[in-house]
Amino acid sequence: MNLTETLKTLCTSPGVAGHERSAGRSGSASEAALKLLSAYMPNAKIDSFGTVKGSIIYNENLPPEGPAPLLLLDAHIDEVGLIVNFIDEKGFLKVSGVGGIDRRVLPAAQVTVWGKEPCKGVICTLPPHAQKSEDKTVKEDEIYIDCGFTKENAEKIITLGDSVTIDVKFTELQNGKVTSRALDDRAGVAAILYALDLLKDKKLNYNIAVIFSSQEELGCRGAGIAAYGFNPDLAIAVDVSYGDYPGAKENTSWKLGGGTMLGISPVLDRTLFEKMKCIASDNNILYQIEVMNGKTGTNADVISLTQNGIKCALLSIPLRNMHTPVEVIQLSDIEATGQLIAEFIAGVC
C-alpha cells in the first residue's frame, strides 16, 4: 500500500460532516474510503448515516476457548467545512460553519461548493481600508461566498444545504510531512488501512470491525450509532491531536515525527493503555503519551459508552494547524500508529 497515495485519495474527497456520502457524489469521502476498505473487508458498506463499516469475523474457525473478542477500530471520515444557508439577490451565498471551523483562514479563501456540479468560489473579504477594524476576521454570521453567478444562475446549480470545502492542493513537504485539508481525520483512516495492510495473511487474535464514522465534528454522532451495531468487546479510536508549533507548551503539543500518541484519561481504559505501551516498547514503535483530564474530544468518548460500556483506547497522530486547509502531519507517525494497531491484533505481547 502506498500511504501517500491513499492519504491523497482520502483528503481530496469531500466529506463535510453530514455530507460524507452526498458531497461530490461518487467521489465523496465515504465512497473513497469504502473502495479502500473493501480491499481488506469485502463485506464493507456505507450505513444510512454515511459511516463506512466492515469486519473480519472468523466464525468458522472458533478456537477451543470460544470466539475471539471483537475489536472495533474507529477513525472519523468527516471534516469541518461550511454549509449554504441563503442566496442573496446578487447571487452571493451566505454560509455557516460546520464543526469547529477556524474563521481566521476564511477571508479570500478559494472554495468549492458541492452543488449539482462543483462550483468554485471565493470567500468575501473587505480590503483593509473598507474594514471597520482590520485585525478582526469575518464574523460567524457574515460569511459570504462569491461564486460569480447571478442569483438565477446560482439557483440552477446550488441548493440550500449544499456543503462547501476550502480548496487546497495536497502537497508533500520536507522530511516526510504532507499538508492538506481534512488530514483530521483521514490520517486516522489511513492509519487503520495501513494496519489492515500489515495484517494481510496474518493470524489475528481478534475478530475485527472497522468504522470510518460520520459526523464526529458535530459531536461524535456517527461513531455511537455504528458502534451500537457491532457492540464490540473493546475498541481503539484513532484520531489526530495537537502537533508542535513555535511557542507551544510541551504538555499541550506533541512532536511531529515523535510517533503515535497514546492517550490516557479518566474515560480511557488503563489496562489497554498499559498494554499498548508495552507493545510499542517491545517492538521499537515510536510513541509519546498524551494525558487528558476527562473527555478526550474524540469518538472514544462515545464508543466507550455504547450499550453496556466498552473498554476503549485512543491513539492519535500529531497534526499542526488543526481545522485549517493547511493541516500538516508526518507520514511516519501514521505508520507508527498502524504498526501499533497491527501488533496489538496479531502480535504476541
Partner 1 sequence: MENLLKDLSLLNAVSGDENDVRAYIIKTLENVNCDIETDNLGNLIIYKKGRKTPKNKIMLCAHMDEVGFIVNGINADGFISLSAVGAISDNVVYGRQICFKSGVTGVIGGKPVHHLKENEKDEQPALSSLYADIGAVSKADAENHVSLGDTAYFVSEFCSLGDDLIKGKAFDDRVGCAIILDLLLLELEYDLHFIFTVQEEVGARGALAATYRLKPDYAVILETTTACDIAGVESDKQICRLGAGTVIPFMDKGTAYDRELYNLAFETAAENGLKCQTKTQIAGGNDGSSVHKTAGGVRTICFAAPCRYLHSPSCVIDKNDFAEMRVLTEKLVSKIANM
Give me the residues that bind partner 1 (CB under 8 A), please.
88, 90-92, 94, 100-105, 107-110, 119-122, 124-131, 134-137, 139, 142, 144, 146-150, 153-154, 167-169, 171, 173-177, 179, 242, 244-248, 252, 257, 297, 320-326, 328, 330
Cβ distance 338 to 344 under 8 Å? no
Q: What residues are paired with 171 via a beta bridge?
A: 179
Nearer to partner 1, 21 or 177 (CB): 177
Nearer to partner 1, 60 or 117 (CB): 117
Q: What's the DSSP call for residue 203?
A: P
Q: Give min distance, CB of 344 to partner 1, in A.
A: 28
CA distance 23 to 106: 20
Smallest CA-to-CA distance from 98 within 4, 18, 206, 180 is with 18
Q: Give min distance, CB of 323 to partner 1, in A.
A: 5
Cβ distance 243 to 250 under 8 Å? no
Q: Give min distance, CB of 79 to partner 1, in A.
A: 14
Smallest CA-to-CA distance from 170 within 186, 147, 194, 191 is with 186
Q: Give min distance, CB of 229 to partner 1, in A.
A: 30
Nearer to partner 1, 221 or 323 (CB): 323
Q: Give min distance, CB of 320 to partner 1, in A.
A: 6
- Secondary element (H or E) of residue 194: helix 183-198
Nearer to partner 1, 150 or 271 (CB): 150
Nearer to partner 1, 136 or 203 (CB): 136
Q: Give min distance, CB of 259 to partner 1, in A.
A: 14
SS3 276: helix
Q: Using the structure block, give the residue that is written with the C-alpha cell 474594514.
A: 131
Nearer to partner 1, 197 or 244 (CB): 244
CB atoms within 10 A of CB 171: 12
Nearer to partner 1, 100 or 161 (CB): 100
CA distance 118 to 234: 40
CB atoms within 10 A of CB 170: 17
Q: Give min distance, CB of 34 to partner 1, in A.
A: 28
